[in-house]
Amino acid sequence: MTASADSSLIASSLENKNLIDKLARAELVDMVPYQSARRLFASGDNDQANSKTWLNANEAPGTGKYQVTSENINRYPDFQPQALLSAYSNYCGLPVENILATRGADEGIELIIRSFCRAYQDSILICPPTYGMYAISAENHGAGIVSVPLLNVTQRDSAQPDCQLDLDGLKQQVGKVKVVFLCSPGNPSGNLLPTAQINAAIELFKESAIIVVDEAYYEYAATKEVANSQLITQYENVIVLRTLSKAFALAGLRCGFTLASKAVITLLSKVIAPYPISAPVAEIASKSLRNDLAVMQTRVEQVTILREQLSHWLTKQHWCCYVFSSDANFVLFRCTSEADKNRVFNLLLANNILIRDQSKQLQLDNCLRISIGSEAELTQLQKLLDTL
Ligand SMILES: *Cc1c(COP(=O)(O)O)cnc(C)c1O
């Protein structure tokens, strides 16, 4: 190849870069993708990843051991593997016709937005501070985003409970949005929304919008007597999201469940990929749901003890001015100043302990979130921070 051919190739590849930007949907060019805990600290190097203590993505500590059979790996899997659906049906108490298995709860979020929101016409509603993927999926699809912030996240009014729904604010959006995302227990706040508030929101939107109750942390919630999944038998417009990523310690598997009326499941089934659950995923998930419920329950109990210990310890630290109550496997707390927030975060980071900085979220100035890892990991964290 001659030198001039070489340089013209380079020139055309530079132009190609512009070409891609020109061809792309303009709003995606400058879009920032979800800053997952893994993306923020990806090293690509497994040894380095293993030397870090990951307390930033609400994963469960400890490793799993599963064997998979590969006999039928030459065949496409069922669209919805029956063994998996019936295992989840047993677990959640709903018939299989009300369940859709997805590639994590995240795929459920995306499917709901794509199924109900017309691009560049319809909007979703979120109640920040909340889980980031609702807005990211909406942006990806070209759906609008309306925010009705949670009330009293900053605890300015000590007579009022924190992190509640703004029902008056929600009422003003009736007729203007197609999908409302509620997260309970909330991420990153950690609190359960009162059942009465969820019911009131459903009533407000029962003729005009889908209400999604994201229950990714359902298993960690202390009060489960009113299982939100039962709501879907009463209301056609309610969808509940669940996952195996948190309490079942299977974040790497990518398996979640959308619970909804038959009409909703039928609709989502038109939008989802033809083989969303790979055979090994279905096999491991079904085994876990059938055989590991007691293990999961023990994990939840252990996490709850460690969470209460950590929360109590945090309340006594001079750099911490508020600890949010949690019904999940993490604790959110507010530092006394931005400088203190940075000192806590950076001391841990320098020692390879990763926690999540939530201070960029609406109403969460100076807030950090710690996932409940193993007892040893949390002891190490506390020892380090004792030196501050
Ligand atoms: C972790 C999480 C999810 C996503 O779960 P996956 O099943 O891993 O996709 C959804 N919602 C909330 C609130 C979460 O914290």
Closest C-alpha residue for ligand 1 atom 11 = 216
**8 A C-beta contact, residue 250 and residue 288:** yes
Angle at 352 between CA 348 and CA 353, to 5 degrees: 50
Contacts of 227 (CB under 8 A, 6+ apart): 92, 93
Spacing, Cα 271 to ligand 1 middle (Å)? 20
Binding site membership of 216 for ligand 1 (Cβ less than 6 Å)? yes
Q: What is the DSSP letter of 32?
A: P
Nearest CA owner, ligand 1 atom 14: 216
The region that residue 334 occupies, defined by phi over 0 for left and psi between -120 and 50 for alpha, beta otherwise, is beta
Q: From ligand 1's centre to the CA of 78, what distance in Å?
A: 24
What confidence score (pLDDT) does residue 48 get? 56
Residue linked to tokens 């020892």:
383
- Which of 246, 259, 277 has most ligand 1 atoms within 8 Å of its beta carbon, as the pocket-test mutant? 246
CA of 241 to the centre of ligand 1 (A): 9
What residue ranges of the chain have pLDDT lower than 70?
A: 1-17, 42-50, 224-229
The CA-based dihedral angle spanning residues 92, 95, 96, 102, taken in that order and rounded to the nearest 10 degrees = -40
Q: Tell me, what's the pLDDT at 1?
A: 44
> Which residue shows structure tokens 């909703």?
264
Predicted local confidence at residue 154, as pLDDT: 85
Centre of ligand 1 to C-alpha 215, Å, is 9
Q: What is the pLDDT, as a whole number, of residue 62?
A: 83
Sign of the alpha-carbon dihedral angle for 114, 119, 121, 125: positive
Q: Could you give the angle at which helices 104-116 and 262-271 cross, rounded to 10 degrees?
A: 90
d(CA 258, CA 239): 7
Report the pLDDT value the prediction gives residue 15, as an integer from 0 to 100: 58
Which atom, in ligand 1's list, is nearest to the CA of 104?
A: 7
Kind and range of the H or E run holding 259? strand 256-259
- Cβ distance 328 to 220 under 8 Å? yes
Q: Check residue 125 and give its pLDDT.
A: 98
What's the whole-model pTM score?
A: 0.93
pLDDT, tens digit (0-9, with 9 covering 90-100), for 19-69: 988 999 988 888 888 877 777 776 555 555 568 999 999 999 988 888 898
Q: Whose CA is closest to 60, among 272, 304, 329, 326? A: 329
Q: What are the tokens at 124? A: 């979703």
The sheet carrying 99-102 orders its strands as 99-102, 256-259, 238-243, 210-214, 179-183, 123-126, 144-147
Longest dimension (CA), the chain: 77
